[in-house]
């Protein structure tokens, strides 16, 4: 979009703040993966990538290394409809897995709204060191538990996986679902 999506205003506040409001409900260890101090917020700490310029995998890696707790809920800064109910569904499915990742029936995944265990750190680090940054490939190595989105119609109805990548996405997000 040519701007910092997390700082972009959505219904009166920066989009990043929508994600943070939800994450703060479930943890005392809220991190923002960024090298820009403009993202600093109360009750949050900034975590910088150890592999700069390597995309979301690097941010997840740095956050897993810095996390106080064994499980890390990763959420994107551009998901204004994020719901704590998604976390609840992932949390109850977490046993014996390195991650719980929402997945659509067509195979697309939501790696930037997923729950990662500290044990996944080595897969991220090894891949980053080898120059492999694709989230789908790293997640495949972790052997996640899938959270099938279509099995939970409320996830679709609540638009919780909507993220804002283009001006058209922003326009569509501002339109109420019954007006689409």
pLDDT tens per residue, range 101-139: 999 999 999 999 999 999 999 999 999 999 999 999 999
Q: How far is CA 79 from the centre of its chain?
A: 8
Rounded distance between C-alpha atoms, residue 76 and residue 124, angstroms: 18
pTM (2 decimals)? 0.89
Average pLDDT over the chain reads 89
Q: Give per-residue pLDDT as tens, 83-103.
A: 999 999 999 999 989 999 999
All structural domains of the chain, each given as residue ranges with its CATH number in brackets, are 6-179 (3.90.550.10)
What span, in angstroms and rounded, lies between the C-alpha atoms of 134 and 76? 16
Looking at residue 13, its pLDDT comes to 85
Structure tokens at 22: 């939800």
Q: How far apart are CA 61 and CA 73, in angstroms?
A: 12
Give the pLDDT confidence score for residue 117 in this predicted structure: 97
* Cβ 110 vs Cβ 103: under 8 Å: yes
**Do residues 77 and 58 touch, judged by C-beta distance below 8 A?**
no
Cα(177)–Cα(147) distance, integer angstroms = 24
pLDDT > 50? residue 140 = yes
CA pair distance 23, 31, nearest whole angstrom: 10
Structure tokens at 34: 């960024």
């Amino acid at each position: 979009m040519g701007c910092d999506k997390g700082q972009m205003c959505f219904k009166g506040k920066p989009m990043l703040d929508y994600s943070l409001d939800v994450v703060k409900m479930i943890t005392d260890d809220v991190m923002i993966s960024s090298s820009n101090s403009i993202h600093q917020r109360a009750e949050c700490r900034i975590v910088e990538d150890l592999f700069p310029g390597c995309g979301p995998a690097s941010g997840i890696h740095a956050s897993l290394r810095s996390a106080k707790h064994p499980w890390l809920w990763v959420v994107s800064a551009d998901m204004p409809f994020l719901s704590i109910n998604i976390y609840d569904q992932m949390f109850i499915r977490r046993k014996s897995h390195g991650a719980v990742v929402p997945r659509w029936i067509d195979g697309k995944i939501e790696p930037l709204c997923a729950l990662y265990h500290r044990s996944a750190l080595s897969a991220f680090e090894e891949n980053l060191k080898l120059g492999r940054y694709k989230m789908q490939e790293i997640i495949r190595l972790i052997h996640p538990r899938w959270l099938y989105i279509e099995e939970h119609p409320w996830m679709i109805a609540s638009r919780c996986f909507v993220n804002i990548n283009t001006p058209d996405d922003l326009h569509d997000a501002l339109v109420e679902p019954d007006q689409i």
